[in-house]
Amino acid sequence: MKKDVYSKVGVDSFVEENALKGLLKWVNKSFILRNNKGRALLPIGFFANVIDLGFSDGVAISTDGVGTKTLVAEMAHRYDTIAIDCIAMNVNDLLCVGAEPVSFVDYIAVTKIKQWQIEEIAKGLYEGARLANVNIPGGEIAQIKEILHNGEESFDIVGSALGFVNINEIITGKEINDGDIIIGLKSSGIHSNGLTLARKVLLGDRNRDEEILLELLTPTKIYVNEILSLIKKVKVKGLANITGEGFLNILRLESNVKYVIDDLPQPQPIFRKIQENGNIPIEEMYKIFNMGVGFCVVVDKNEYPKAEKILNELNAEFLKIGYVEKAKEKSIEIKPLNLFSKGGKFERI
């Protein structure tokens, strides 16, 4: 099997997928342990899950970290934005089921407690919480020098977020139909995916280019305001957080339809730098990175004018990037680039 560029830098998606199957074999068994109040309403693999609390109340939960973006923070000796990414990765996933994020807890692991470093991370926690309109009722700090081996500033941060949604109003994409419109909300840059590849091709082992470091550290965009505003006033049929796997994330939505992307925004310069420095095929770029689109919304074509008006009033940066066609199975076509989804990746038509 020919390896893609991501596998060559140490991120083997094929091995990860097989390992996940073994994990899910056991984790899925836990579903039967709560089959009334407290039951999980969605299968594992969606952006977030929803737990039934009874009386039509549901609590949405998600968990995520920032991956090797922590190493970029260490290289730059800057820690005031990385927690924004952690909150963003979690609350953006909650939005995908139509939930309103309300709370977030963090876990920070460090080699050695450094008060200035923890306070810088805390600044990001507050800023992320402010942008997402959530509280942070608790968390954990652990000193694990034996595990972290990248110097005294080495650290990791992960978190979990909680939101609320009426179980009769969960959004999964099951109502998506022929003719629906796909809206793409602009990303703030690389977000928190593909940093292993980005570091390898832009920074290597010794390069400490300050401009590139700061560009890579641009915080992940939080879409809470835009998405909740749309959900309240527009019939939203599908929501997709464009993280790792790029536009392929749209395939998590339930309907068996074809998503046709016929207009694309100009990706931020950072993506061109990565592609050119790493000589990476365009089909892999659109599988690994968001390429300028951080979140997708699917609405009925008759609802699009209303959605457009709301987003314009919020000064949101967005583009009508495509539409939905009838199909026997899920697929994505990116017309401007002649790319078509196949077997968990993009191929040129």
Model pLDDT for residues 229-255, shown as the tens digit of each residue? 999 999 999 999 999 999 999 999 999
pTM beyond cutoff 0.85: yes
Question: Residue 9 pLDDT more than 80?
Answer: no
CA distance 222 to 50: 20
What gap in Å lies between CA 72 and CA 78, rounded to an integer? 9
Task: Round to whole Å and give the CA distance between 335 and 264.
Answer: 9
Give the per-residue pLDDT at 13.
Answer: 64
Of 1-15, 125-139, 330-344, the poorest mean pLDDT is in 1-15
In Å, how far are 90, 116, 194, 269 from 10, measured between CA atoms? 25, 32, 11, 25
Sign of the Cα pseudo-torsion (259, 174, 265, 243, in order): negative
Task: Determine the pLDDT at residue 7.
Answer: 65
pLDDT, residue 18, reads: 82
Residue 138 confidence (pLDDT) above 90: yes
* Domains and their CATH numbers in the chain: 34-169 (3.30.1330.10), 181-348 (3.90.650.10)
The 10s digit of each residue's pLDDT in 95-126 is 999 999 999 999 999 999 999 999 999 999 99
Confidence tier at 80 by pLDDT (50, 70, 90): very high
Confidence class for position 26, pLDDT limits 50, 70, 90? very high
Across the chain, mean pLDDT equals 94
Predicted pLDDT at 163: 98
Confidence (pLDDT) at 232? 97
The whole-number average pLDDT for the span 150-159 is 95
Predicted pLDDT at 292: 98
pLDDT of residue 14: 62
Question: Is the pLDDT assigned to residue 1 strictly greater than 90?
Answer: no
pLDDT of 268-281, one tens digit each? Answer: 999 999 999 999 99
Distance CA 59, CA 104 (A): 13
